[in-house]
Structure 1
């Protein structure tokens, strides 16, 4: 079981940041709430601050636990911990993704999300 954290990052207008997984990555072409794997002994909040700085060049502030979902991808099972977060600063520069969007809750259904993220869409909807 791999523990992964995901950030539901909101901007000042109530839109959420989603990102598309780049070609060559697992779940390539699918959208997700950005985040990454927890390092040993790392809190989900610290993981999200580190991953978003590494993968997108932005600073965020996770402020509330949102939910958890375990998903079996066959070769690997992940435990995805979602947190609500505020966008703090920075210009988005992608390294692990090939596209990003700021979308409203109503627009989320227009995107094909990685299966582990889908339960969070239902909770936001």
Structure 2
């Protein structure tokens, strides 16, 4: 019988669109996995934390935006292939559409923040799971 992997749940935010139809993306800082690549911002879900709660916390910690959890909706997911991966635990990445927020993004933990139109996001260099999420979310 094949064993079932224990996935590491991670949340990501599709924040937007802003008044110009753009979406917020984060460029990973040097010294981190996937350094220099663009991603939907987010992070790990802590023990005892819900997905929306984790996303609100992560976005506030990373860039100072306050998300409205009442307006978030599940948008897409992507998962690592558990066979032959390089991580100790494969990642399950859950994307939420976050249409309401307050504040302006600032870099609190490194990296770069920028707003992009969907066609431009498709052209950005992204980690594999973010490429999958981009294709599923923007079509």
Q: Same fold (TM over 0.5)?
A: yes
Structure 1 vs Structure 2 CA RMSD? 1.5
**TM-score for both structures, normalised by structure 1:** 0.91
Structural mapping, 1:39-118, within 5 Å:
39-62=46-69, 63-72=72-81, 73-76=85-88, 77-118=90-131
Q: Which runs of 5+ in 2 are unaligned?
A: 1-6
What does residue 35 of structure 1 align with? 42
SS of the residue aligned with 1:82?
Answer: strand
Aligned-partner Cα distance in 1 for 2:134–2:31: 25
CA displacement 1:94-122 (0-9 Å, x = unmatched)? 13342111111111122101111111111
Aligned-partner Cα distance in 2 for 1:15–1:78: 27
Which residue, 33, 46, 50 being the options, matches 1:26?
33
If you compute each CA radius of gyration, which structure gives the higher value, 1 or 2?
2
Please identify runs of 4+ aligned residues in structure 1 that moved more than 4 A.
Answer: none
Structure with higher strand content: 1
Matched pairs, number: 125
What does residue 8 of structure 1 align with? 14
Q: Which runs of 5+ in 1 are unaligned?
A: none
Distance change (3 Å), C-alpha of 1:12 and 1:41: farther
What does residue 3 of structure 2 align with? none
